[in-house]
Amino acid sequence: MPTSPHDHLRRLPSSRLPQSYVRRLAHAILMPRPEDVVFPRHRERFEDRRRESHQRKLLDEFFDHATLLAVSRLVSHGQIDSIDFPISTGKEGGVFRATKGEEFRAVKIYRISNTTFRHLPAYALEQLRREASVRNFGGLIYAWTRREHTILGRLKEAGVRAPIPYGHYRNLLVMEFIGTAEGAAPRLNTAFIERPEALYEDLVVQVGRMVRDAKLVHGDLSPYNVLWFEERVVLIDVAQAVAREHPGAPALLQRDIVNFAKYFGRLGLDVDPADFLKAVGGDLVGPKDGGS
């Protein structure tokens, strides 16, 4: 007489086991429980009710069933061990600190909804349509996630200071965590800048490498999309970057340079946009002769 509901299956040759059962069993063995991965509870961590309520809200907003399964897959593939807490959240998605062994990583989670695409430029949507139907929001988000992973890899090869990409799956992107055990690095718009001149020189180097070596224009460069870590800039949010030969690239770079010049003016540093543009390789941006 069987002692468990699965004993009769153990007596069957593996080739005769129902495939649906085999798949469920493999999933149960290989995949961690989502609730043990996102915001895990440690015995030494005593959260107050307010923080627990905030985390519950984030769980409801970002971690639906499909996303929880995607997180579990990342864990099973060795990308992360757990997701610890949010770094920043917005309408399009959120960035969370994660743990992998003795180090921290960042996980960006894009929301799967049409809201994510309301602020995307036309050129970005045009490129995404080549990979997925405009009616398939999930497919578009997955393509956007792959795009950011690819661009981050391209920046790394060019020597641009940006988060190192580690992997991606569906609407989740795993990358380098910029910060310390005490917290994430601040964005420039909230950071205290003691030496604006040094910041300007470093920004020129990083944007110049992006234009000259990676052959890309950021497309949305601002103090909101640059981190300040160890007195150096780190470029982030690069999914909307465009090839420097794109017809719209000159206007995008010009706009970003002018806006950053205003930012430096608020710091007490007079920056000529024309000089700034020339310093980062603005003469290389735009369609080549005979092309578009």
CA 7 to chain centre: 46
Q: Which candidate in 48, 60, 81, 220 is catalytic?
A: 220
Say whether 84 is catalytic. Answer: no
Enumerate the H helices of the chain as residue ranges: 7-10, 19-30, 49-62, 65-76, 122-128, 137-157, 196-212, 249-266, 273-279
CB contact at 8 A, 138 and 104:
no
Which 8-state DSSP code applies to residue 168? E
Question: How far is residue 55's CA from residue 221's CA, in Å, rounded to a whole number?
Answer: 30
Asked if 237 is an active-site residue, the reply is yes
Which member of 64, 84, 213, 237 is catalytic? 237
Strands 103-110 and 165-169, sheet pairing: unpaired
Q: Is 291 helix (H, G, I), strand (E, B) or coil?
A: coil
Catalytic residues: 220, 237
